[in-house]
Amino acid sequence: MKKLFAALATTAALAFTAASAHAAGYPERTITVVVPFAAGGPTDTVTRLVAEAMSKDLGQQVIVENVGGAGGTLGASQVAKADPDGYTLLLHHIGMATSATLYRKLPYDTLNAFEYVGLVTEVPMTLVARKDMEATDLKGLVEYAKANKDKVTVANAGIGAASHLCGMLFMSAIETPLVTVPYKGTGPAMTDLLGGQVDIMCDQTTNTTKQIQGKTIKAYAVTSSKRLDVLPDVPTVAEGGLPKMEVGIWHGLYAPKGTPAEITERLSKSLQIALKDKNVVDRFAELGTTPSSEADATPAALKAKLESEIARWKPVIDAAGQYAD
């Protein structure tokens, strides 16, 4: 028995030394950040901007891999199974918290499959529709949706996506279920909204601001408590009569469970630097997206946020009673 303990202790010590040795020279090669949605959407845009800035700080390429599908859970699952060596990361949003309740069975244990790097952004959603949507304001959109509930289509990025959550809040606020159309991300969903193949979408300003400003889609409300500087003419959901739709989307950067703390700390420092990078700050501002503060871009802040958000959304999702397998 003693021998077994000694052998286990030696193995553990060797593993620890190997991890520390890796951490010391980290990063020595390209880092991949998995975005659990298709290219061209808000999560992708945020990640590419942050990855470019982190790459400057880390002295290694930080590239993005889009693994869309199943509301972000496919990409999260891929990272949960990846080597915990700091070379595969995940940038996911509020869906990390909502999926924990929405899915009856996830291929990973949300609170135990990841290490935390830090919070990345806070961004509101916008309720938008195809350009030729008849309604001129939120009240009109609600009337139209209620009168045409079997034919009005709402795009989302799958169960667990922020667009799914926001669509759910809309349908529950107007007490009318609508036809939902899932995509691998709201990048491709936006293409269909622009083409008029789908009617409505609720998505982050990161993806909608330019289109709203260019009048290629119609905007009915922002889900923040105050109007946004970049979209001053778009009323808040409360102004439009649907205060229960208020919601803020946050993004976090994760690593697979077992990634050495030296590495997640190094990444967290780099994230903090990236969030102050001029290009990131300017582009985020143009897109109504707020970079997380230095205090929030830390492992502890992301862990606390994920835990509190799982607790916050569980009763809301349970009340809706719609789950995915």
Residue 304 CA to residue 322 CA, distance in Å, equals 26
| Binding track, positions 117-156, relative to ligand ASP; x by CB under 6 A | ---------------------------------------x
In terms of Cα–Cα distance, which of 242, 224, 246 is closest to 174? 242
Residue 287 CB, nearest approach to ligand ASP (Å): 13
281: three-class secondary structure by DSSP: helix
Q: Does residue 185 belong to the site contacting ligand ASP (CB under 6 A)? A: yes
Q: Decide: is 110 part of the binding site for ligand ASP (CB under 6 A).
A: no
Closest approach of ligand ASP to the CB of residue 225, in Å: 21
Residue 181 CB neighbours (<10 A):
16
Please give the backbone phi and psi of residue 285, each rounded to the nearest 5 degrees, phi first: -60, -45
Residues 33-72 that bind ligand ASP (CB under 6 A): 37-38, 41-44
Task: Kindly tell me which of 66 and 264 has the beta carbon lying closer to ligand ASP.
Answer: 66
Choose among 127, 168, 162, 190: nearest CA to 252. Answer: 162
In the numeric block, the tokens 């909204």 are attached to 193
Query: Is 26 or 313 the residue whose CB approaches ligand ASP more closely?
Result: 313
Going by C-alpha positions, the residue among 11, 245, 46, 22 that lies closest to residue 126 is 245
Instruction: Tell me if 99 contacts ligand ASP by CB under 6 A.
Output: no
Pattern of binders to ligand ASP over 198-217, x per CB under 6 A? -----xx-------------
Assigned token pair, 70? 């199943």
Under the binding rule (CB under 6 A), the answer on residue 157 touching ligand ASP is yes
Distance CA 104, CA 114 (A): 19
Q: How far is the CB of 74 from ligand ASP (least distance, A)?
A: 13
| Number of residues in the chain | 325
The half-sphere exposure of 132 on its side-chain side, counting CA atoms within 13 A, is: 5
CB of 186 to ligand ASP, least distance (A): 4
Using CB under 6 A as the binding rule, whether residue 170 contacts ligand ASP is answered as no
Q: Residue count at the site for ligand ASP (CB under 6 A)? A: 18
Q: Quote the CA–CA distance of 13 and 11 in Å, as a whole number.
A: 5
Shortest gap between Cβ of 53 and ligand ASP (angstroms)?
19
93 is an interface residue for ligand ASP by CB under 6 A: yes
Which amino acid makes up residue 207?
A: N
Pairing relationship of beta strands 200-204 and 31-35 according to DSSP bridges: unpaired
For the CB of residue 177, give the shortest distance to ligand ASP in the complex, in Å.
19
List residues binding ligand ASP (CB under 6 A).
37-38, 41-44, 93, 95, 156-157, 161-163, 185-187, 203-204
